[in-house]
Amino acid sequence: MQENMQRIHDYLFEIPRTGKMRVPARIYASEKMLKDILKDHAAEQAAHVAWLPGIVGYSYAMPDIHWGYGFPIGGVAAFDLDDGVISPGGVGYDINCGVRLLRTDLCLEDIKPKLQPLVDALFRAVPSGVGSTGPIKLSEKEEKRVLRQGAAWAVENGYGYGEDLDKIEENGVMASADPEFVSQHALERGRAQLGTLGSGNHFVEIGIVKEIFDEPAATAMGLHKNQVTITIHTGSRGLGHQVCEDTIRVMLRASQKYGIELPDRQLCCAPVKSDEGVQYLAAMASAVNFAFANRQMITHWVREAMMRALGIGVQALNMQVVYEVAHNIAKIETHVVDGVKRPLCVHRKGATRAFGPHHSEIPAAYREIGQPVLIPGDMGRYSYVLTGTERAMQETFGSACHGAGRLMSRTQALKTARGRALARELADRGIIARASSHETMAEELPEAYKDVAQVVDAVAGAGLAKKIAKLHPAGVIKG
């Protein structure tokens, strides 16, 4: 793979079209990062995606690329609606695992004396861990309303405010959802999990704005130095996982039915407009809406916990949504290809939208600066806020990366963390951390991830997004 790779510029490398690839594959990364990327099979997976029927442009991989199911994590691909396909491996198991950034009127000095009890309060308020369940117990009828209405269901039921929805991708709901295509097993798995964090790399993080790179853009987002922020990272929980699991079985049969040749069974797929494709998109959108509602519920728990722990009211906290991005999602979007507007099915797996300025789907408050792009790092270093660019629209269907990307497997991380007091190590760096188990903390140790600064520099260097602000963690709860 490495011997065939061509350097396009300092942050872009291309795997030329060979064999049954329909288009080349492109990897956004620095040369230094590429060495780690080529250690696993992620680049090969990006090349395999290029086999799929109806793919348009290139098979893309973002700088946080690493091995995943079917598509690499960090993979982006767009498909023609008439000749192209939809693949659950191009979305992933944790459908609409996304990131919400909240800002407050607090500064570091306001929370520093109460940081430990504040983190403890958040840990109690937001159920976390494997199989975690929340205080909301839904009937099947009500759960299906959640799957149709997304974040709006939570607001209608008193969990947050209407203005929260204005700064969420899709305003927190995909209208194409149809819960009748979601299995009973998936519904059962999700029924008690609304408002829960889950496990693995999911987190709620108290951050501090440490650096501003673009003052006008930061001001438009209501961000300033020393400000307290909250980042929420979670998805559709067991419901989304089961939707993917159910669909893979269907798509394995569909690939044979429609005569689609696959280099890897995990790329199983169906034509976008086939019955199988339409039903998956409706079920996937239902899981997307569950995730939107889930993050809205967690926002409500976080607001309440912070006010209690700090002894302040709603106005003093003034917690508002900066933006929420979705990753692990496929959408029908219109993009310009060879000078012509075309509707495409864009898969973003471990990647997010990065629409440039003036796009009609960007909230009015951000239309001049571009869509906010949120790229969290590990729990020991820093995260970034960026904005999408016109170049991203031209090159990657308006896409950028979603995080740092793992360097170590969870097994490797557990071995590396053996005998270490990770919570103490983080506390020595001024970061208070809580997790549902020592194992979770060990799997998520900072060095298990790439340095997100390198990832962000690659994205910015390639012109896919523009750096706006840098956040440092002060407190974190992990699933």
CATH number of 58's domain: 3.90.1860.10
Q: How far apart are CA 407 and CA 444, in angstroms?
A: 11
Domain count, the chain: 1
Tell me what pLDDT residue 417 has: 85
Average pLDDT over residues 110-134: 90
Span between the terminal Cα atoms of the chain, in Å: 36
| Block residue for tokens 């005569």 | 259
pLDDT digits (tens, 9 = 90+) for 188-235: 999 999 999 988 889 999 999 999 999 999 999 999 999 999 999 999
Give Cα separations from 282 to 182, 330, 384 (angstroms): 8, 11, 32
* pLDDT reading at 150 higher than 70: yes
pLDDT digits (tens, 9 = 90+) for 332-367: 999 999 999 999 999 999 999 999 999 999 999 999
Give Cα separations from 361 to 56, 255, 350, 465 (angstroms): 22, 33, 21, 17
Enclosing domain of residue 11: 2-478
Residues known to be catalytic: 402
**Mean pLDDT, all residues of the chain:** 95
Quote the DSSP letter at residue 358.
T
**3-state DSSP assignment of residue 13:** strand
Phi, psi of 378 (to 5 degrees): -80, 175
Average pLDDT over residues 291-300: 98
Phi, psi of 183 (to 5 degrees): -70, 160
Task: Please state which of the ranges 205-219, 277-291, 348-362, 399-413 shows the lowest mean pLDDT.
Answer: 399-413
Give strand ranges (E) for 354-404: 372-375, 383-388, 399-401
Neighbours of 215 (CB within 10 A): 12
* pLDDT reading at 3 higher than 70: no
* pLDDT reading at 247 higher than 80: yes
Q: What pTM did the predictor assign?
A: 0.96
List of residues 6+ apart from 103 with CB closer than 8 A: 221, 222, 223, 227, 229, 319, 320, 322
Contact 118, 312 (CB under 8 A): no
Q: How far apart are CA 290 and CA 352, in angstroms?
A: 18
Counting beta carbons within 10 angstroms of the beta carbon of residue 35, is it exposed (0 to 12), middle (13 to 18) or buried (19 or more)? exposed
1 or 429: which leads in pLDDT: 429
| Block residue for tokens 């798509």 | 251
Short-list 190, 140, 149, CA closest to 168: 149
